Amino acid sequence: MLPGGIFNTRYQTDLAILRTKTQWILLALVLVLIFTFPFYGSSYWLSWLTRLAVTIVAVLGLHILTGLCGQISIGHAAFVGVGAYTVAIITAKSGINGWLCLPLCGISAGIIGLIFGLPAFRLKGFYLAISTLAASYIIVWCFQHFESITGGFIGLGLEPLRLGGIDFSTRGAFYVLAMVIMVMATLFAKNIQRSSTGRAFVAIRDNELAAEVSGIAIFRYKMLAFFIGCVFAGVAGWLWAYSQLRVNPDQFRLLDSMWYVGMLIIGGWGSTTGVFFGALFLRLLEVFIDYITPPLAEAFPSIAMQINVALGLILFGLVILLFMMFEPRGLYYRWEKLKTYYRLHPYSFWSSL
């Protein structure tokens, strides 16, 4: 809904993502705050925001695959690992520049995603989720046991990324790089959602039979969703590898895949903005857990180990359960209702949120 007095007079205006001057000004302010943060932010929050950017890129891929096309995947972290290991292996074995590996990471993860997406031709729902679970175990097993290539359980190290005189091993420089890639990935995901391909994805998600009757090539679009979603995961893996300068199998656990799915649930299915809400919410939940764990461990020393291990899992499960019970449409839906309430105020018929 547009604010009062704002009308679309051209087709191009109706298609625009940002339609008002206020929206453009807010976007400019947000971008200025993001890209000037290294000048006034602490190293802790620089590292945290870098990790958040990597997470958002990965979850944008899951948003396309699961949120738009409805193909449930609970092995997405493994495809992030494919991208991370691709750059680690190529740079270690052949010495190719890490920048050239960026598209290779996306393509390699996309191809692996196509292979494990083949069951989508016959499976859907719970059964497809189980097949992606199997993919996660298979991929991580390969990371662990092909030691001559992947380094086994120890993993592989990477040389710092450089471009000219810029050393991206510094927190500030890599933060800016991660944010640039995050913004580009967001624009790409948003435009896919608004394209004919995105509408085909949504049609398959809402009613596969009706989509097929309408002439949509179901299997082709499912494979395309797997490929695009895993390309995003591969790019996130490239970012992750250079943010840590080391990759190992423990970084791409099934639990990480579950957190990605949780971010979609909390943010709201089928919404690019919801990806940001969900990722921000759960990453802040991690900060909260890290903050309260030490005092709880001191207060209950007899179960300190259990608190360190289980508290994050308990709170994560509780939050997901509460959202599915009381707000299954996610934070994005609440955000839209809040904006509509603000635009229609003071009319009382929209007074309840």
**What CATH number corresponds to the domain at position 123?**
1.10.3470
- Among 135, 138, 143, 124, smallest CA distance to 74 is for 135
Question: Which tens digit of pLDDT belongs to each residue from 62-92?
Answer: 999 999 999 999 999 999 999 999 999 999 8
Q: How far apart are CA 107 and CA 235, in angstroms?
A: 9
User: 5 lies in a domain?
Assistant: no
In this model, does residue 181 exceed pLDDT 60?
A: yes
User: 308 lies in a domain?
Assistant: yes
In this model, does residue 180 exceed pLDDT 70?
A: yes
In this model, does residue 249 exceed pLDDT 80?
A: yes
State residue 271 phi and psi, 5-degree precision: -130, 125
Contact 219, 110 (CB under 8 A): no
Q: How far apart are CA 30 and CA 27, in angstroms?
A: 5
Burial 47-67 (b: 16+ CB within 10 A, else e): ebbbbbbbbbbbbbbbbbbbb
What six digits make up the tokens of 79? 């495809």
What pLDDT is recorded for position 294? 86
User: 51 lies in a domain?
Assistant: yes
pLDDT band with cut points at 50, 70 and 90 for residue 304: confident
Helix, coil or strand: residue 157:
strand
User: 7 lies in a domain?
Assistant: no
> What is the domain count for the chain?
1
What pLDDT is recorded for position 293? 86
What six digits make up the tokens of 232? 């995003």
In this model, does residue 3 exceed pLDDT 70?
A: no
User: 135 lies in a domain?
Assistant: yes
User: 56 lies in a domain?
Assistant: yes
Torsion of CA 43, 46, 51, 52, to 10 degrees: 140
User: 34 lies in a domain?
Assistant: no
In this predicted structure, which of 41-55, 61-75, 263-277, 329-343 has the lowest mean pLDDT?
Answer: 329-343
Provide the strand spans (E) within the chain.
156-157, 162-163, 166-167, 246-247
CA distance between the termini of the chain: 16
pLDDT band with cut points at 50, 70 and 90 for residue 176: very high
Q: Mean pLDDT over all residues of the chain?
A: 88
In this model, does residue 351 exceed pLDDT 60?
A: no
- Among 243, 237, 233, smallest CA distance to 172 is for 243
Rounded mean pLDDT of 133-147?
Answer: 93
Rounded mean pLDDT of 253-265?
Answer: 93
In this model, does residue 34 exceed pLDDT 70?
A: yes
Domain that holds residue 222: 42-350
Residues 6+ apart with CB under 8 A from 288: none
Question: Which tens digit of pLDDT belongs to each residue from 314-335?
Answer: 999 999 999 999 988 999 999 8
What pLDDT is recorded for position 93? 83
pLDDT band with cut points at 50, 70 and 90 for residue 345: low
User: 31 lies in a domain?
Assistant: no
Q: How far apart are CA 114 and CA 228, in angstroms?
A: 9
What six digits make up the tokens of 30? 């947000």
What's the sign of the alpha-carbon dihedral 242, 79, 271, 203? Answer: positive
What is the number of alpha carbons within 13 Å of residue 64 lying toward its C-beta?
32
